[in-house]
Structure 1
């Protein structure tokens, strides 16, 4: 693991080796709190603008059109963005015991259910896996949000992930219910969810499937593989930052479940490949706005999981933890240094953390759904996804700086 030395250095510089480690913790917390406040002020609203005890994340700021205009009423509904917003709010509640974040997380879960026409599910397995993870974390960390309906929803989503396993087709689980594309963005979060909800064997199977079917010669993880009607399989070798993130998360959970060093070897390889191929001057590279706005933040979340939750006693785990922490902290510093400021003095983050952010306005196109994906606004900083991603990064930096472990108690979650 000597190749990780270059990645470890930033962690040594930014975490506890400053003259005052307490001030580093305060700084990380203050930055994350500012990002949370900005999203709450600019994006969080009641469903329909009026429904009590609900929240929903507006997909753009400024919003398109006037109140009740066609542009505003038909603004894109992005289920998986909302799931990540729940996860982000849980971070704030866990790291700072922020009551507003906890209350908004519960209200947002109600809002998602209402906005999704009184359903927790949809046709996309990756979407459902993300919401399942958000529900699981909310239930585990914010006990007063874990009502009966949320527990039933979590079990429903967990069972959907488990039952979609399709070895007869060469899977994996597919991207969506009507598809034969088996991809990392569905199998990665599904593996993490199953590991945390009492389905350890399938979780490890999914991690192994990703490694066996989607590992590239570069060491990175490919997007997915098509299973064609004639039985042939076609690899889509496109690489995305969030694919590396969920693979790291799945392997971290698999190691916690099994203790097998093979999972540490995979984490080592992915970390080195990410540092070599998916950073700019050591900063995780961006993927624009729209759906791509979330990609780097997802990688940051699971880098932080490696940094905080790999068991310290495992051989080589210390180097892996430090390398992952270094990537998070370098990116967090860059994102903060390159932020813009809105008229209320709150931060606005860009899609590329190594470049200065721009302050958006209401001109130009807002994010729009095209097929199964969401296209960026003409100014990506306008997109909720971009702001959530930076928020996740800054909360990941808090996790690394204060040593906040995702898991407590048993190394094998119930």
Structure 2
């Protein structure tokens, strides 16, 4: 396999422009009076975060790796982004998923359950998430195939409504549980279908029936919060955890049904649900939306990582529908916290929107948390988005330098600019790049002209930077900042965080791993000391040893069915270790050291790739800890 640089870089490298050097004036964008970002900045932030999310989209299987319903929600979030901003770059990925994944698949290929075709499975709520995704695609494209698929899924789900507990849709095909998520989805889905199918009465009746049953089921407790479900034997609320997505879905279901009926009682209930969520004893801590598993000492699983984003999706609908400034202010608060406190140097957005982290309970960053927090940024974009916006992103965002002694070390960075504006407008952008004291960034100032052709595809340009790091720079993390400005209203800053390190020593699944992880390759990380590659996934670490290196080695603690390969250029690979037995559950966990000296490239870099020796089994290579050292 030929290893390419991550897809974000490929996107940013498109459209390199000629630079003209000039002096720059850098006014800051004005803040929104409600405390959030102004419209152009909010749009730019959402664009940057959406691009980071889509860098994790896997085009062959046409999903986000290793999570079926989460992929539906992530794609719907991208649909929200496109609908909110006018950016249409990712329609192809939506259609790719529709065409490739609508068939029948065995358990373990895309879902732990067998997929029955038409995005249905024994998991009824999973099926409903996909139906909502395809309605979103229909709204964006008006292609009837997407709406028809949503109807097909709804007809499948409809068979799981019965009179047990007086009504409601079952959570699973085995009919073991009636809960809030499945029925909140059902109401929203059927109401959305009614609002898009001229002359419909059937789906409206199902939506009204579902709402009446849900609001009378007891799952909405006396405090106006939605408990998880019903005890099957008693049909009483189980008083289980109030998850943010259940609260958000109840709000969204009521809003869509209100659009179908204009019954004012629906908005009264919706407002009660919203005010309960943000009031005392609700789902907010110090003004920030907080899942019960967000608190120190607890860990959110892969499902729970996306719950808050679902809440924000429907809170955006609430703010748009009611135009209540309280609800808009809450949106602005969440988006500001995500951007200011919950974002790392690579533009990744974490699980805890407060940014809370610790060595033994670190904040978690992956594509699920990215999709969730992206919903907060999308919600902050005005319902009528600005006609102009300007954003910037750095690639690589977290480069590593292992410096040689006695001479400066150079790092190449690319500042990727994107601008949207009506066709014919010219966005003349002044760019300023700065580094730490004593460092040299070339060019430090430049002028770039972007020529948008409309809002569907932002105009792009790249500024290539050379960063000279002085000899003797101590180990540490150092920011290089780029600020792009066009006129008095458009300004956006971005950073690369350069890690200067003489050795590599990190646990996988942590922030310390990120700078060394050259290509995640569809791998997964489920917490500290746990990165693994199942099936045809892989992951690659890059060690840029200094030019005077004479020998180098890397030590990995790993287990399961691994393949370890090394390379000097990231393209030609040599296998240095392979597990030939069918080993599961870490029975062969060991620490192994690999001599990298024979494999060092012309620039002394070394790459290590871990993959799965038995790709059909699902027990691919797992790495816990990595160290790399050299002599020179």
TM normalised by structure 1 equals 0.72
Give the helix-richer structure, 1 or 2. Answer: 1
Which structure 2 segments of 5+ residues have no match?
1-29, 104-108, 195-202, 294-299, 387-632
**Structure 1 CA distance, aligned partners of 2:70 and 2:263?**
34
Indicate the residue corresponding to 1:209 in structure 2: 213
Query: Residue 301 of structure 1: CA displacement?
Result: 0.5
**Structure 1 CA distance, aligned partners of 2:308 and 2:382?**
16
**Structure 2 CA distance, aligned partners of 1:237 and 1:401?**
40
Query: Residue 249 of structure 1: CA displacement?
Result: 0.5
Q: Is 1:284–2:289 an aligned residue pair? A: yes
Q: How does 1:202-281 map to 2 (within 5 A)?
A: 202-213=206-217, 214-228=219-233, 232-238=234-240, 239-276=242-279, 277-281=282-286
What is the total number of aligned residue pairs between the two structures? Answer: 328
**Structure 1 CA distance, aligned partners of 2:132 and 2:156?**
13
CA spacing shift, 1:132–1:15, aligned 2, 3 Å? farther
RMSD (Å) for aligned C-alpha atoms: 2.7
Contact 2:57 2:63 in 1 (8 A): yes
Which structure 1 segments of 5+ residues have no match?
1-12, 49-54, 59-76, 311-316, 365-377, 404-414
Indicate the residue corresponding to 1:191 in structure 2: 187
Query: Residue 380 of structure 1: CA displacement?
Result: 6.0
1:335 to 317, 334, 338: 338
Contact 1:307 1:325 in 2 (8 A): yes
2:43 to 25, 29, 33: 29
**Structure 2 CA distance, aligned partners of 1:107 and 1:358?**
39
Query: Residue 327 of structure 1: CA displacement?
Result: 2.0
**Structure 1 CA distance, aligned partners of 2:363 and 2:141?**
32
Once the two structures are superposed, what CA deviation does each residue of 1:1-46 show, in whole Å capped at 9, x if it has no partner? xxxxxxxxxxxx975667xx9x7111111111111111122x1122
Contact 2:80 2:136 in 1 (8 A): no
Q: Is 1:392–2:375 an aligned residue pair? A: yes
Indicate the residue corresponding to 1:314 in structure 2: none
Deviates more, 1:282-291 or 1:79-88: 282-291
Contact 2:73 2:129 in 1 (8 A): yes
Deviates more, 1:251-260 or 1:162-171: 162-171
CA spacing shift, 1:209–1:383, aligned 2, 3 Å? farther
Indicate the residue corresponding to 1:307 in structure 2: 319
Indicate the residue corresponding to 2:162 in structure 1: 166
Contact 1:290 1:383 in 2 (8 A): no
Query: Residue 152 of structure 1: CA displacement?
Result: 3.8
Query: Residue 201 of structure 1: CA displacement?
Result: 1.7
Query: Residue 147 of structure 1: CA displacement?
Result: 5.7
Helix, strand or coil at the partner of 2:237 = strand
Query: Residue 200 of structure 1: CA displacement?
Result: 1.2
**Structure 2 CA distance, aligned partners of 1:352 and 1:271?**
21
TM normalised by structure 2 equals 0.48
Contact 2:312 2:375 in 1 (8 A): yes
Helix, strand or coil at the partner of 1:398 = coil
Indicate the residue corresponding to 1:371 in structure 2: none
Query: Residue 233 of structure 1: CA displacement?
Result: 2.1
**Structure 2 CA distance, aligned partners of 1:109 and 1:184?**
27
Indicate the residue corresponding to 1:80 in structure 2: 69
